[in-house]
């Protein structure tokens, strides 16, 4: 037994030295050292049969190993091993971490066309919802506009517009230049109260150059027009608000203006249908379905997946029906039923005939390519082909050109055409600010037709404002009827005692402007 125990102790000591290193004690130390053990594990004695101890270790024990110090005293140290109850959880954790990381990598960096398509549809729908919500929360009583346009061919023309409004008051300036002449116009809208119909004042200046040009022709008609221009130039005219009220009262469109709240109500209901069906991948609702996957492709410098989508006829009919139902009981229904108030919305829209036309249409010819951002961000571009046999030269693009970290939503519609002697491009853009709901409109035209070339471009910025606008009322303004009489005669403004022979009763304004009608 001594030999066996000695061999066991010696083996244990070697194991301890290999795994834990030697136990170093101060020289001549008589202090016995023992490593603290967990209370739940019994400390094995040096006499314990090592075969039993060794058999217990793999399951749950910590092996205590006798050692001899420099003074010949026996000490014990322990060699800790991983408990089995922690082993499997550790393995599972490692698998989850590695597997989760791989899944995250595939999700974020390695999106496939299908997942990118789903993600882009969802994000695009969220962007629309976000804009509508912000629009409702950022309503202003007024607005400001600032724009310009330019035509460089076939003739040089340019112009600008600027203005501001608050409630029913407004000021507007326009500038127009062509063939060496420049005409300016001013418009003022002045209301007695915030929601009242305003009086409208306007004047035109810069006509002196034109009347001189007309006089040079020497004929009577040109001279008469020149005289009119001369008398109108730099003269204020006004349209009284009662004339506008009378015209509105006699119109079937009376009271069909849309308030900001009504616009938001319509937009919210329509966007819900668009999200639910047009920008959806749900099997029972999605209008679009992936028809073909082309793979990765750069589009305007952005990494995208290009796919071809088909339109499901039945789902599209469901979408149109849901869209129609969404506008019921809104102000838009009243607008669509203008002049047909005795009819239902379906009757006014001839909706049954519309569905029959959709039934007879061949949707297999609806050929649409879509570029979605490879990271699943947004739909980058949708391309329609009105002439499938001429895809490269005739198509319509609808694009969303978002920039990372930008608060702008740039939407661009671009038509490329080459047919029947006409070739060119027309681009219309709308840039929306998701925080302020401000908008910038733009257009660009480059057209060659029958040997002629037309080039034009322009922009118009519209922003909300709560700045008060109080235009000054012109003191020398003349009534609009004097201008109308002059235009009829072509010889300057109508004098106060001149009979034009015009039947004012036909205008239904005889009760308003008795003082303006002229007698013999």
Q: Determine which of 60-69, 120-129, 142-151 has the lowest per-residue pLDDT on average.
A: 60-69
Q: What is the mean pLDDT of residues 106-113?
A: 58
| Mean model confidence pLDDT for the chain | 76
With a cut of 60, say whether residue 52 has pLDDT above it: no
* pTM, 2 dp: 0.66
What would the pLDDT profile of 115-126 be if each residue is shown by its tens digit? 999 998 998 888
- The backbone torsions φ and ψ at residue 78, rounded to the nearest 5 degrees and listed phi first, read -120, 145
Cα–Cα distances in Å, from 367 out to 291, 386, 390, 410, 439?
10, 8, 12, 24, 31
Confidence of residue 325 (pLDDT cuts 50, 70, 90): very high
Question: What integer pLDDT is reported at residue 296 of this predicted model?
Answer: 93
Q: 421-427 long-range contacts, Cβ below 8 Å, gap at least 24?
A: 421/449, 421/450, 422/447, 422/448, 422/449, 422/450, 423/393, 423/447, 423/448, 423/449, 424/448, 424/449, 424/454
CA pair distance 343, 175, nearest whole angstrom: 45
Contact present, 242 and 516 (Cβ < 8 Å): no
Confidence of residue 509 (pLDDT cuts 50, 70, 90): very low
Contact present, 51 and 112 (Cβ < 8 Å): no
Q: What percent of the chain has pLDDT over 90?
A: 33
Contact present, 491 and 228 (Cβ < 8 Å): yes
Higher pLDDT, 106 or 67: 67
Cα–Cα distances in Å, from 455 out to 159, 160, 182, 372?
15, 17, 20, 32
Question: What integer pLDDT is reported at residue 95 of this predicted model?
Answer: 52
């Amino acid at each position: 037994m001594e030999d066996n125990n000695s061999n066991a102790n010696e083996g244990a000591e070697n194991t301890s030295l290999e795994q834990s290193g030697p136990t170093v004690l101060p020289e001549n130390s008589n202090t016995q050292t023992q490593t603290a053990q967990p209370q739940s594990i019994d400390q094995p004695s040096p006499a314990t049969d090592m075969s039993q101890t060794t058999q217990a270790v793999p399951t749950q024990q910590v092996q205590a190993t006798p050692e001899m110090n420099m003074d010949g005293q026996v000490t014990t140290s322990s060699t800790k091993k991983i408990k089995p109850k922690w082993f499997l959880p550790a393995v599972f954790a490692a698998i989850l971490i590695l597997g989760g990381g791989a899944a995250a990598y595939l999700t974020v960096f390695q999106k496939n066309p299908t997942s990118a398509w789903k993600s882009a549809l969802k994000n695009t729908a969220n962007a629309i919802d976000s804009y509508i919500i912000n629009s409702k929360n950022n309503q202003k009583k007024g607005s400001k506009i600032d724009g310009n346009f330019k035509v460089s061919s076939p003739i040089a023309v340019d112009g600008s517009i600027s203005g501001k409004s608050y409630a029913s008051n407004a000021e507007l300036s326009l500038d127009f230049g062509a063939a060496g002449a420049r005409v300016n116009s001013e418009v003022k809208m002045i209301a007695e109260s915030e929601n009242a119909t305003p009086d409208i004042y306007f004047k035109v200046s810069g006509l002196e150059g034109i009347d001189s040009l007309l006089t040079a022709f020497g004929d009577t008609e040109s001279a008469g027009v020149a005289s009119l221009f001369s008398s109108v130039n730099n003269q204020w005219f006004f349209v009284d608000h009662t004339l506008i009220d009378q015209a509105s009262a006699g119109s079937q469109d009376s009271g069909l203006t849309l308030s900001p709240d009504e616009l938001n109500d319509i937009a919210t209901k329509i966007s819900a249908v668009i999200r639910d069906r047009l920008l959806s991948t749900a099997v029972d609702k999605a209008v679009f379905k992936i028809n073909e996957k082309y793979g990765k492709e750069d589009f305007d410098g952005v990494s995208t997946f290009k796919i071809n989508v088909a339109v499901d006829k039945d789902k599209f009919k469901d979408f149109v029906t849901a869209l129609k139902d969404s506008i019921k009981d809104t102000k838009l229904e009243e607008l669509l039923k203008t002049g047909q108030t005795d009819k239902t919305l379906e009757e006014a829209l001839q909706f049954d005939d519309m569905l029959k036309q959709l039934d007879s249409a061949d949707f297999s010819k609806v050929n649409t390519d879509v570029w979605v951002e490879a990271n699943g961000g947004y739909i980058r571009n949708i391309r329609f082909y009105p002439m499938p046999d001429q895809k490269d030269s005739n198509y319509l693009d609808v694009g969303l050109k978002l920039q990372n970290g930008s608060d702008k939503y740039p939407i661009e519609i671009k038509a490329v055409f080459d047919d029947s002697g006409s070739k060119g491009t027309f681009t219309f853009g709308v840039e929306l600010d998701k925080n302020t709901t401000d908008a910038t409109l733009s257009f660009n035209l480059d057209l060659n037709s029958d040997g002629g070339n037309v080039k034009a471009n322009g922009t118009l910025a519209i922003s909300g404002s709560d700045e008060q606008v109080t235009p000054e009322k012109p003191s020398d303004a003349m009534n609009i009827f004097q201008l109308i009489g002059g235009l009829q005669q072509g010889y300057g403004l109508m004098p106060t005692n001149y009979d034009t022979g015009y039947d004012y009763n036909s205008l239904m304004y005889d009760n308003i402007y008795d003082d303006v009608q002229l007698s013999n």
